[in-house]
Structure 1
Amino acid sequence: MKLQQTGVRKFGNFTWRSYALAVGVGCLGWASLAQAQESWPSKPIRLVVGGPAGGSADSLARLLAEGLQQKWSKPVIVENKPGAAGVLAVNDLQANGKDGYTFLVIQGGVVSETPLAYKVNYKPFTDLKPLAQLSRIGLVLVANKELPVSNLPQLISYGKSQAEGLNFASYATGMRAHTAGMLLGQLTDVKLKHVGYKGSPPGLTDLMGGHVPLMFDGVATSLPLIKAGKIKPIAVYYPTRIAELPNVPTFKELGYPQLAQAGWFGLWSRPDTPPAIQQKIREVTLDFLKLPAAQHRLKDLGMESGIAASSEELMEDLKKASEQQAVLLKSINYQAQ
C-alpha cells in the first residue's frame, strides 16, 4: 500500500524511479562524450614516433605536427620511441591512445614485418588502425665513399672477389632493409652479412666511418648525406626512380625486379579511439598533405605523398606485404627474436 501511495511501482529491488535515474545519467554520459568529441582537441596531441630523432619517421612526424598545429592552434608534441622495430612505440599507443590524444607515426612494417621478426605483445591486424597513408617510401643501397665501386655491377664483381664477403647495415633486424640485403646476396651469389642497428642514424654513422661498407636505408635519411658527398648511392629499391636521385637506377632496371616494392609511413590510432576523432584527424591530415608546401617538403625528404586510401584498403595492402615478407624471412631461415 505504501508503494501505491508514493506513486512508485517496484519489482524486487528495481523501481521505475531508479530506471529513470539510470537513463538520465546515461544520457548525460553520452552527451558529455559527444561534447568532448565535438570540442576535440582541447589539449596537446602526442605523435609517438617509431624511430629515433633524425630518422625518416621523425622527419615526417614533425612535418605533420606543424600542419596540425596550424589547423587547431594546439601544441602537437613529437615523442620518439625507437627500438624493437617499433614495438615500444606501439606499446605507448596501446597504453595511451584510447582518448584520442595519442597517435602513432610509423612504417606499415609495424604490421607487415615486425610481428614476423619479433615476438610482439599486440595483434597486428586488430590492435592497430591506419588512419592515413602519409607517404610512400623507397630504400636505397648506399656505400662508404671510399668503397672502390660506383654501380651495382661493380659492387657484385667486387663482392665476389672478397673471400669473407661484405657486411651491410640496416635500420632494424628482420625488417625490409635486412631482407633486401639478404635477397640481393641470394640473387647475385655475393656473400652479404647483415649488421642490424637501432634506427638509421647510428647505422649511417658507422657507414661514413668505414665500420660497414654498405647499408640499405630509407631514402629520407640517406639523401642529405648523398647530396653532401659523404656516402654514395648504388641502386634504389622502389618501383620507379626517386625524383631527388634521378641518376640512380632502380634494382628493377638493373635486372632485379624482386627488389622493387614500395613501403609507406602512416598515421595510426587504436581501433577504439572515438570514431569522430579518427575521422577528424584523418581529414585534416589528408588535406594538409595536399598543400603545395607539404608536397615540396615531402619531395625534399625523398618521399612521395601517400594515397587517400581507406583504413580497410591500407590493411589489405599490409596483409599482402606480410605474406611476401614471410616468404623472404623463410628463405633466409630467419627465426623471430
Structure 2
Amino acid sequence: MKKVSRRSTLAIAGAAAMAPLAAVRAQQQTGLPDKPLKILVGFPAGGGTDVMARFLAEPLKQRTGRNVLIDNKAGASGTIAVETLKNAAPDGTTIAYVPSATIVQKLTMESVPFDPLADIQPVTLAGTVQTAFCVSPTIGVNTLPDYIEWLKKNPTRQSFGTTAMGSFTHFFGVMAGREIDIPLEPVPYRGAAPLVADLQGGHIAAGCGGITDFLEHHRAGKVKVIFTSGTKPTTSAPEIPTATQLGYPKLQILGWYVFFVPAKTPTPLVDAWGKELRAVLALPDVQKKLTELGLDVETSTPAEFTQRMTADLARWKTIIDSIGYKAQ
C-alpha cells in the first residue's frame, strides 16, 4: 500500500474542509432564504400543473441547496392556492405556480379572494399553453367532424368536463359548442386527474383543459385530444390540429403558466427567485420535458409579464362579454 505523505494528508483534509464551505457560499449566493422553500399548486396531485411543478422542484433543489416542497392547495379552480399565497409571509420562502385558467376567474367569479394585479406579483413567465378539447376513447371519435356527428346521434350526452369553471377551460368548450351549432353544457371537475379518469371510463364524453393536463394521457390512449386553441399546433404535438386549421378561427385562446410571490415580497427576493427559475427553465432537459408536457417554454421579467397580464385580462373580458357570461 502506498504511503501518503503528511503534506498530502493535510491537503486532502483541507480540501474536505473547504468543500462544505464552498457549498454554503454557493447556496448563499442564490439570495434566497436559507430555509425550506414551498411551491403552492392549486390542483390535485397528478394533474398537469402538479406534474410540471414537481418536475421543476428537483433542479431548483439542486441549484439552491434548499429543500423544495410542493404544497397542493386544491379546490376552487386554483384560487385557494393563490389566496394562500396572498396571505403568506413575503419572506421569499413561498411561491405559487399558477395557470391563466385561475387568474381569469377574477373576471368571472365575484367571490375570487384576490386581485392578480395587487395581491400577488409575478416572478417570471414559465411558458404558454393551448387549451385542448378531448373526447373519451369509449365513444369511437377521432376528429371534430366525427364528434359533431356523434353529438347529433347522442343528444343526451352534449356535455363536457372542465378542469376549472369560470375559466377558459370552461369557456373554450362553450365557445366550441356555439361554433359547431350544438350547445355544450359544462360539468365542473376538481382538476384534470378526476376528469381524465371519467373520460377513460366513459362516464363523460368530452373534456376541456390545458393541453398540459391531457397530452400524456392522449399519448397513452386514455383520452383523445381532437383540437386545440392555438393559431398553430403546439410544439409538443404538431399532429393535433387547431380549431383554426379546422375552419373555426374564432376558437383562439393562448394561456400561460407563471410563478408568483406575495405582493409585498422585497425586490431582491423577487430578483433572486427570477434568477433561479429562469436558469432552471433554460436547462435543455427541462425544456424538453416541459415541451413534451405541452408547455411552450418562455420566460419574462416581472414588468414584462405584468404588462402582458394586464393586456390579456382586457382581451379576455371582451371574449367573456361576447358570449354573455355574467360573473357568478
Paired position in structure 2 for 1:312: 303
1:275 corresponds to which of 267, 270, 274: 267
Paired position in structure 1 for 2:144: 152
1:324 corresponds to which of 298, 315, 318: 315
- 1:241 is aligned to 2:227: no
Hey, what's the Cα distance between the residues in 1 that align with 2:29 and 2:279? 20
1:300 corresponds to which of 292, 295, 299: 292
Residues 174 and 329 of structure 1 are in contact (CA less than 8 Å); yes or no, is this contact kept in structure 2?
Answer: no
Shift of 1:37: 10
Paired position in structure 2 for 1:335: 326
Shift of 1:178: 0.6
Residue type of the alignment partner of 1:241: P
- 1:86-235 → structure 2 map (5 Å cutoff): 86-164=78-156, 166-235=158-227
Unaligned 5+ runs, structure 2: 1-27
Runs (4 or more) in structure 1 with deviation over 4 Å come to 36-39
Paired position in structure 2 for 1:72: 64
Shift of 1:153: 1.6
How many percent of aligned residue pairs carry the same amino acid?
29
Deviations 1:45-103 (A, max 9, x none): 11111211111221221122112111111101110111112221112112224111111
Hey, what's the Cα distance between the residues in 2 that align with 1:163 and 1:111? 33
Hey, what's the Cα distance between the residues in 1 that align with 2:100 and 2:79? 12
Hey, what's the Cα distance between the residues in 1 that align with 2:59 and 2:110? 34
Shift of 1:125: 1.1
Shift of the 261–115 alpha-carbon distance from structure 1 to 2, 3 Å rule, reads closer
Shift of the 38–80 alpha-carbon distance from structure 1 to 2, 3 Å rule, reads closer
Shift of 1:252: 1.0
Residues 44 and 76 of structure 1 are in contact (CA less than 8 Å); yes or no, is this contact kept in structure 2?
Answer: yes
3-state secondary structure, aligned to 1:146: helix
Shift of 1:225: 1.7
Shift of the 212–331 alpha-carbon distance from structure 1 to 2, 3 Å rule, reads farther
Hey, what's the Cα distance between the residues in 1 that align with 2:163 and 2:110? 15
Shift of 1:297: 1.2
Shift of 1:295: 1.0
Deviations 1:111-145 (A, max 9, x none): 33344234122222111111111121112211111
Shift of 1:332: 4.0
Hey, what's the Cα distance between the residues in 2 that align with 1:238 and 1:219? 11
Residues 62 and 78 of structure 1 are in contact (CA less than 8 Å); yes or no, is this contact kept in structure 2?
Answer: yes
Shift of the 258–317 alpha-carbon distance from structure 1 to 2, 3 Å rule, reads farther
Shift of 1:221: 2.3
1:284 corresponds to which of 276, 286, 289: 276
Residues 183 and 328 of structure 1 are in contact (CA less than 8 Å); yes or no, is this contact kept in structure 2?
Answer: no
Hey, what's the Cα distance between the residues in 1 that align with 2:317 and 2:40? 27
Paired position in structure 1 for 2:18: none
Unaligned 5+ runs, structure 1: 1-35
Shift of 1:181: 0.8
Deviations 1:19-55 (A, max 9, x none): xxxxxxxxxxxxxxxxx99863211011111211111
Q: How many residues align?
A: 301
3-state secondary structure, aligned to 1:78: strand
Shift of the 192–100 alpha-carbon distance from structure 1 to 2, 3 Å rule, reads same
Paired position in structure 2 for 1:253: 245
Q: Which moved more, 1:154-163 or 1:223-232?
A: 154-163
Residues 149 and 158 of structure 1 are in contact (CA less than 8 Å); yes or no, is this contact kept in structure 2?
Answer: yes
Paired position in structure 2 for 1:46: 38
Residue type of the alignment partner of 1:77: L
Residues 165 and 188 of structure 2 are in contact (CA less than 8 Å); yes or no, is this contact kept in structure 1?
Answer: yes
Shift of 1:258: 2.1
Hey, what's the Cα distance between the residues in 2 that align with 1:192 and 1:312? 38
Deviations 1:279-325 (A, max 9, x none): 0110111111111111111122121112x322222122222322333
Residues 78 and 102 of structure 2 are in contact (CA less than 8 Å); yes or no, is this contact kept in structure 1?
Answer: yes
Q: Which moved more, 1:109-118 or 1:250-259?
A: 109-118
Shift of the 212–287 alpha-carbon distance from structure 1 to 2, 3 Å rule, reads same
Residues 104 and 168 of structure 2 are in contact (CA less than 8 Å); yes or no, is this contact kept in structure 1?
Answer: no
3-state secondary structure, aligned to 1:229: coil
Residues 111 and 125 of structure 1 are in contact (CA less than 8 Å); yes or no, is this contact kept in structure 2?
Answer: no
Residues 43 and 75 of structure 2 are in contact (CA less than 8 Å); yes or no, is this contact kept in structure 1?
Answer: yes
